[in-house]
Amino acid sequence: MDTPGKIIAVHLNYPSRMQQRGRTPAQPSYFLKPASSLAATGGTIERPAGTELLAFEGEIALVIGTPARHVSPEDGWKHVAQITAANDFGVYDLRAADKGSNVRNKGGDGFTPIGPKAISTEGLGEGDWRVRTWVNGELVQDDTSDTLKFPFGRLVADLSQHMTLETGDVILTGTPAGSSVVIPGDTVEVEVDAPNAPGSPTTGHLVTAVTQGTVPFGDFGSKPKVDDLQRIEAWGSEEEHAAAVAAGRATPLDGNEGNDGGSGSPLTDAIRAQLEGVAVATVSAALRKRGYVDIFIDGVHPNHEGDTILGTAKTLRFIPFRPDLFKEHAGGFNAQKRAFDTVNPGEVLVVDARGVRGTGTVGDVLALRAQVRGAAGIVTDGGVRDFAAVQEFDIPVFSQGAHPSVLGRRHVPWETDVTIACGGAAVQPGDIIMGDRDGVIVIPPFLLEEVAAEAAAQEKADAWVADQVAKGAAVDGLFPMNAEWRAKYEAETAGANTATENKA
């Protein structure tokens, strides 16, 4: 087959993959792959140096025969001359570099093997095709084109509204469930056939061997970056990732390491110790001095009397319920499940439920999942389902109270790790969340060190004032301290510090 002028790939098309991803698009979306990414059967693909998540995607590839421009969905299939097999490889480590364009993560040399044979579409329909993929001889993908949300003719018609599809252009039509990660030493095979057609025509097996690249990325472009969500999405599910870890094929989740609320978090062990016993009210006063007055997550209360919470924010956003959006976004590994499945030790899961109390946003299973993963707590401005069961867990949960409803009454789980509003406060991933019986506040990370120091000092002074009041001192002049009382306080604390140093 001649080198195509364009290689166009569809993001999501198979319902099995949509279920796995937890979203169902209303219309197809696309990205382009460069011709330099093409590779033949029997070739190799390099997993780039410094990456870990090279994923395969077995696909049915359409080869355009007669050019198509402004054609109808009913006529689109007529412009497809041949069908062949393709493998749409991608590196999840580079997905963040180019957002949806996939230039770096799917455009590498050898990242689009295609072939080995092309089958004529003459006499065959667009629903007659099957794609199967094997990894090291094990069948991992098996689906048919009659299940597609966006049939081949519709893809051709849609694309022809925007550009002329020319003879030889290739359209990769999406991958079914089963896409996962391969490592150096693995062999991937993709076959497309028409099993019910006369003679059962087949492309043969498109074989690609995975090797390890050795050339590192330079400092003049985006570097590979991996997080737990990327690992879980790349492997297909947390269970599949865990099995791969057990088999020595995958890197463990970062959430199993450390307890400082996330790499690079300003919430160090020293600051945690400094804030031990410091009231939220005291910290809020320090923030007020700096102009931060809308930092309260209002209306939430702890599920255990005496609970406190301190950690780094991980966010989850719900939007108002709508049947079509719920159908598209609430199934599979949806945003709610992703948030609870990827929360790290020391993080507080903060849920934007728009202040709607009349529905559950957290239940016993999800709360237990967060506890098992080492989360520092959960804060939601909505309700909690299975409230009595959640109370039995150790994890602090701050909410508006109990409500028995399940997901789907008032909310659609929408996205994670974005800026949200919770209880009237803006919360960004990485903000510091602190709570006690008085309430929950949000501390911007860059203010944490100075606010913690000031609040700790103020808490110490307030304790001294309370002691003076208990001894019978009048409040006037003492709270807040005037110059006379301030001098007494500083003299006593200086003496106490000296005594402590001498004992040491």
363 is in an annotated binding site: yes
C-alpha distances out from residue 152 to 6, 31, 132, Å: 17, 16, 18
Question: Rg of the chain over CA atoms, in angstroms?
Answer: 29
* Structure token digits, residue 82: 């041949």
Measured between alpha carbons, how far is residue 110 from residues 35, 41, 87, 187, 372 in Å? Answer: 10, 10, 10, 14, 41
Is residue 338 a contact partner of residue 238, using CB atoms and an 8 Å limit? no
Burial bucket for residue 497 (CB in 10 Å: 0-12, 13-18, 19+): exposed
480 cis-preceded (ω within 30 degrees of 0): yes
- Is the preceding peptide bond at 201 cis, omega within 30 degrees of 0? no
386 known ligand binder: yes
Please give the C-alpha separations between residue 289 and each of 32, 44, 47, 282, 455, in angstroms, as whole numbers: 52, 62, 52, 11, 11
Buried b (16+ CB within 10 A) or exposed e, 307-332: bbbbbbbbbbbbbebeeebbebbbbb
Q: Residue 299 corresponds to which amino acid?
A: G
Q: Could you give the angle at the alpha carbon of 497 between the alpha carbons of 496 and 498, nearest 5°?
A: 90
416-430 per-residue burial string, b: 16 or more CB within 10 A, e: under 16: bbeebebbebebebb
Is 269 known as a binding-site position? no
* Torsion, Cα of 33, 36, 38, 42 (10° steps): -150
- 275 among the known binding-site residues? no
CB 172 within 8 A of CB 86: yes
Q: Which helix (H) or strand (E) holds 435?
A: strand 432-436
**What backbone phi and psi angles, to 5 degrees, belong to 396?**
-70, 130
Angle formed by the axes of helices 335-342 and 228-235, nearest 10°: 120
Query: What element of type H or E holds 452?
Result: helix 448-470
Of 401, 344, 349, 408, nearest to 374 by C-alpha is 344
Cα distances (angstroms) measured from residue 48 to each of 51, 101, 104, 157? 6, 19, 11, 36
CB–CB of 103/35 below 8 Å? Answer: no
Could you list the residues known to form a binding site, using ranges: 363-366, 385-386
Could you list the residues known to form a binding site for Mg(2+), using ranges: 386
Could you list the residues known to form a binding site for substrate, using ranges: 363-366, 385
